[in-house]
Structure 1
């Protein structure tokens, strides 16, 4: 159904591992949006190099290309397989994906499920299921890796508050480090909100963070409450537009579906939009923008591994603050010069961050700006020069900017910007998690649910807490250098 003859050299860049309910829901949105994005560029539906980065062709018998957009007429995608593994200890979400419009993108060799779940318990996910399915997971990982011509990195999508996402997710991370130590490991980790309905989520988050700190190369923390705030911001903007233009609710809904980055139609699961679909789409767009230079051409493309190389000055301090702009497109896109400056300004604003923190009031260790679409280098330089005076960079890295430019914009936009910053503001998120952990741990609440699992020791709690406290101290130590002046380079004396 796809022609392979156009791709003389297929370069495969990444495998994506979707773990737990949260990871699989985000992943299904990502694969849907990715196919739609490729379909907008690849009009003939021919299997080419950009498509091969995250998909593989399993049937080359057919010579007639077809539409690759999901749900668009005769757009069958049976010859494509996503380079992904779906893992969940409750089969509900994975089964729903396999009944939905994205079912043809996965096959049984990419799935691993159980029926009982991890009971919101990191120990059950990591120590029990992680060991029980270790060989099976290793076999699935190996098969997926062997189908890659040039494996560059792994992406792990999971939550921190539940048992499977935090427990099995970090077990997979340990396996990847052991089996593929030279391949970069990225984690997209969704952190619970303060009023999370899982009482043990602070335990799960801190236990998982210990593993992420030691075994991941780069972690992008995302807070549930920040996603909720972003969706509310978009809804308010939509309401404001309706007041100004006096449109009906139905036409407003249509406008948001056309112009909002957080709405994608069916989304790869079912035809009915769910309350958390908009939140999941934001994370999916983060991943789309982050991988755009690996999938499309650009005048200044950024290798995925360059992100870690440029943003992580110290191995443990690899937690990256992310923001997206624009989140929606309600203004006239023809006002490009003025709007472009606003896109850069929004990327550093608090209400566009995917964590609830303000990076402008903290210290930057490094920052990457990944742009897509009709953007010139002069636009980038002008806006960096404009923003630089208001941003505090660590004194030994005053010019710690990394820029990337991909020529293909997201569907429905002229351009977009993903900001990735190593910023000390992340310590506030970690401090809140530690506070929740300590409240439970001081009372030894719910500990017996963990220690009764074989292989789980009480010392693991203390070690994880000390690891998190040490991480916070490292960021606080750097933050204390905010007002330190840049070192003046020594002057050469001429005899």
Structure 2
């Protein structure tokens, strides 16, 4: 059985991670009523013999075991991590797998990447190796971070570099939360573009998510909840509507509902056929995009619940005429079907795609970056950090421009055969 390790970096990464671990435990509890440690649970958890301090993989009579998440929690402000350690999931995390500081990165990519990155590199490597040693067959690292701040963008992408250096054969999957245009961090365009260069070079797969889209989806859910239109597919203990049935908090925080969406990565709440239609509509994306009117490079549909293969095939055939695929990959579909539904739902669909519709997000980010950069605004906050030079900015914006141009070329040659762009092999 393969295992995965989750690396949570920064405030946003750790808050989303907290929701992820709660959901993972609930998913297993719903299926494995006896609470037995099995192969499914071993994907993200290890079983620790708390009596003698060992790290047993099997349960034996007479011994006391506890679950520990295969995770590394990193934040240069200790507030969020301390909240997690004082909360309902505190026993799930190994105190030896935490890296925190007190001063934070000041919303500065250079501080997170250049300063804290090099300062904590050996600690990060040591704890990553410790986590890897507990895995029989390590398949991938999941990095969760945000792009707009300092620690998530800077230290998060530094960790990505470390993973490539130390574990070159292990896949690196990254969930990146992009800031909205009205983000209150004035330097978020700098941080995001500098981080994007690192993602382009060191990530195997990037799942981009926008705060603006998350907020829009949460608003729709609340409207449906208040109007009683959620229907029978979403039950009261669904994490999409609240944390009910999961971890208990005295009062839900403003971003909890948005983090629930990321943890679930669910794109719809409606009937089966409508679910497939919604997965390709602009109102159900985790970034502000319209994939149906853009060009697909590849698409994966992951279905859970009481859904027949015939339903899956029928809906693909129904939708194919309205979706535009690159000429050299007209059958670029991958499908997965799991009969076990997610907690609180009768069925769900997750659509992962590489589509040129992400281009406007990158173009808008480039424009916001250039508005600051042309004025040299706030550059001195970055350039006083050792190892940070102005060429880092020019290289980062050049990397982003190249990525945008690759998508431009794809859009401009929809019907012509073309060599597969090297950086677009995995869904972004």
Structure-2-length-normalised TM-score: 0.92
**In structure 2, what is the equivalent of residue 355 of structure 1?**
287
How far is 1:270 from its partner?
A: 3.2
CA pair 466-387 structure 1, distance change in 2 beyond 3 A: same
Unaligned runs of 5+ in 1: 1-10, 66-76, 246-254, 287-323, 330-338, 488-495
**In structure 2, what is the equivalent of residue 472 of structure 1?**
404
CA pair 341-119 structure 1, distance change in 2 beyond 3 A: same
Cα distance in 1 for partners of 2:244, 2:350 equals 22
How far is 1:237 from its partner?
A: 1.4
**Is the 8 Å Cα contact of residues 57 and 79 (structure 1) preserved in structure 2?**
yes
CA pair 220-110 structure 1, distance change in 2 beyond 3 A: same
Secondary structure in structure 1 of the residue aligned to 2:237: helix
Equivalent runs, 1:268-279 vs 2, <5 Å? 268=247, 270-279=249-258
Equivalent runs, 1:340-379 vs 2, <5 Å? 340-379=272-311
**Is the 8 Å Cα contact of residues 102 and 269 (structure 1) preserved in structure 2?**
no
Cα distance in 2 for partners of 1:485, 1:473 equals 17
Equivalent runs, 1:136-147 vs 2, <5 Å? 136-147=123-134
Secondary structure in structure 1 of the residue aligned to 2:49: coil
Which among 363, 366, 371 is matched to residue 431 of structure 1? 363
**Is the 8 Å Cα contact of residues 50 and 65 (structure 2) preserved in structure 1?**
no
Cα distance in 1 for partners of 2:221, 2:411 equals 32
1:49 is the counterpart of 2:32: no
**In structure 1, what is the equivalent of residue 380 of structure 2?**
448
Cα distance in 1 for partners of 2:21, 2:49 equals 19
How far is 1:376 from its partner?
A: 1.2
**Is the 8 Å Cα contact of residues 262 and 279 (structure 1) preserved in structure 2?**
no
Cα distance in 1 for partners of 2:99, 2:205 equals 25
Secondary structure in structure 2 of the residue aligned to 1:58: strand
**Is the 8 Å Cα contact of residues 124 and 453 (structure 1) preserved in structure 2?**
yes
Secondary structure in structure 1 of the residue aligned to 2:352: strand
**In structure 2, what is the equivalent of residue 30 of structure 1?**
20
| Cα deviation digits, residues 260-301 of structure 1 (max 9, x gap) | 624223764833211110100111012xxxxxxxxxxxxxxx
**In structure 2, what is the equivalent of residue 184 of structure 1?**
171
**Is the 8 Å Cα contact of residues 263 and 278 (structure 1) preserved in structure 2?**
yes
How far is 1:236 from its partner?
A: 1.7
RMSD over equivalenced CA pairs, Å: 2.1
Cα distance in 2 for partners of 1:465, 1:112 equals 31
Which among 100, 118, 131 is matched to residue 105 of structure 2? 118
How far is 1:64 from its partner?
A: 7.1
Aligned residues: 409
Cα distance in 2 for partners of 1:437, 1:19 equals 23
Cα distance in 2 for partners of 1:187, 1:260 equals 22
1:226 is the counterpart of 2:213: yes
CA pair 467-235 structure 1, distance change in 2 beyond 3 A: same
CA pair 405-266 structure 1, distance change in 2 beyond 3 A: closer
CA pair 93-60 structure 1, distance change in 2 beyond 3 A: closer
1:194 is the counterpart of 2:181: yes
Structure-1-length-normalised TM-score: 0.79
**In structure 1, what is the equivalent of residue 267 of structure 2?**
325
Secondary structure in structure 2 of the residue aligned to 1:263: coil
How far is 1:258 from its partner?
A: 3.1
| Cα deviation digits, residues 101-142 of structure 1 (max 9, x gap) | 000001211110000000000000000000000000000000
**Is the 8 Å Cα contact of residues 306 and 341 (structure 2) preserved in structure 1?**
yes
